[in-house]
Amino acid sequence: MAGSPAEKAGLKPGDDLVALDGQPLISAADVSWVLHHAPENGTLAIAVNAPGGQRKAPLILPTGWRQKTDISRRVSTWSLRGMATGGLVLEDLADDARGTRGMGKNEMALLVKFVGQYGKHAAAKNAGFAKDDVITEMDGKSGRFDRKRTFCRFAAKI
């Protein structure tokens, strides 16, 4: 992603990351292990097989890098969706989409990106939610929340 620590370290699509902070990488679990034990800020050494051969580079971790992680795509969190949101995957509606719907930038507008279909993941579907719905109020609140707070407040109410 543009401006990311990976881009600043010179990583490109198609590069094969073979070591991170001295840990040989066999699977994504190795990357997770290294990042779990990484400092709040600092530098990790990376080794990459890329066109032209192997190269090494520093991966600089800026202060606060852990708070910028979106864990919702991790398989290990999928069961939480069923428990916390009834199977919904929500995303704050982008400002341009808000404008085309006549909504202000400070109003709640949570786009339903996905609705679970089976078991505990179907609770939202069974309650009538559908993909591309926009939630504009929750528990009497209609102001815009940041993503982390929205999920936490929504999860606490279900």
**One CATH from 2.40.30, 2.30.42, 2.60.120, 3.30.160 for 71-157:** 2.30.42
What pTM value is reported for the model?
A: 0.49
Q: Could you tell me the mean pLDDT of each successive run of 10 residues in the chain, 158 residues long? A: 87 89 88 87 91 89 77 64 74 90 91 87 90 90 67 45
Q: Is 48 helix (H, G, I), strand (E, B) or coil?
A: strand
Question: Distance between CA atoms of 96 and 32, rounded to whole angstroms?
Answer: 35
Predicted pLDDT at 69: 63
Backbone angles phi, psi at 81, to 5 degrees: -60, -40
**How confident is the model at residue 30, as a pLDDT?**
87
Nearest to 155 by CA among 79, 93, 51, 101: 79
CA atoms lying within 13 Å on the CB side of residue 101: 19
Q: Please give the Cα distance from 133 to 98 (Å, whole number).
A: 13
Nearest CA among 73, 112, 69 for reference residue 90: 112
Write down the CATH superfamily of domain 5-68: PDZ domain (2.30.42.10)
- How much is the pLDDT for 152? 45
Domain map (residue ranges) of the chain:
5-68, 71-157
Confidence at residue 155, expressed as pLDDT on a 0 to 100 scale: 45
Summarize pLDDT for 118-157 with one digit per residue, the tens.
Answer: 887 888 899 999 999 999 998 888 888 755 444 444 444 4
Q: Do domains 5-68 and 71-157 have the same CATH topology?
A: yes
Tokens read off for 110? 């949570």
Q: Which pLDDT score, from 0 to 100, does residue 76 have?
A: 66
